[in-house]
Chain A
Amino acid sequence: MENDLKVWRAKADVTQEELAKELDVARQTINAIERGRYDPSLELAFKLAQYFDCSIEDIFTYEPTDDD
């Protein structure tokens, strides 16, 4: 799973801390998502999409690997 969360956050001009507070998660969680180390739950993905007023697919892209 890949994402453009960092780009969306930069466009909205919000810090990781501010976004985390808005979505009721830790700043480290936003950081881990941006670095591709953590795939968020469906609920958090929806919250992110709602926050940026876009669809989940605009932020997250899923490309199956050979293992899938």
Chain B
Amino acid sequence: MLKLQRDVPIALIVIGMGLATVGADLVSSAALGVGLVLGGSALAWGTILVMGLFLDDRAWGRLLSDERMSRITYRAAAAGWMSTLATLVTLARLLDYVDATIATQHALLGTAVVALVAFVVGLGYYSRQM
């Protein structure tokens, strides 16, 4: 069950990223698309900055809500981060040989999806394991 108060940081980041990617892709006007990219990015980055700069655990919502959840978050974040690095390393050299027509921006978006999926799957997996 989604509890808004605890899930606010995650919700804001996901909404920001969604607006900056899918949202900007769907609108017909280029100016509106740029606006959505900048607005969505500002929302996502702003939320991440608040989470990163303020030491109060409450800024992280559910992710650091107690000691077990903190441990789960650290592991999921580490798994997500390492998956991201591995994806970048693989794509950096492989794209030239496999399919040179894949645009850099699509490769970057794919990497972002890998990072997000790895983190979310990690949260679910570790929640069941510990």
Instruction: Answer yes or no: B28 CB below 8 A from chain A CBs.
Output: no
A-side contacts of B67, CB under 8 Å: 25, 29, 40-41, 43-44
Q: Mark A19-51, 1 if CB is under 8 A from B, else 0.
A: 000001110110010000110110110000000
Looking at chain B's contact residues, the main secondary structure is helix
Binding site for A on B (CB under 8 A): 65-69, 127, 129-130
The bracket for how many chain A residues form the interface is 10 to 19
Sample of 14 more A-B contacts, CB < 8 Å, known A24-B66, A32-B68 = A25-B67, A25-B68, A26-B65, A26-B69, A28-B69, A29-B67, A29-B68, A29-B69, A37-B130, A38-B68, A38-B130, A40-B67, A41-B67, A43-B67
A26 near B66 with CB under 8 A, answer yes
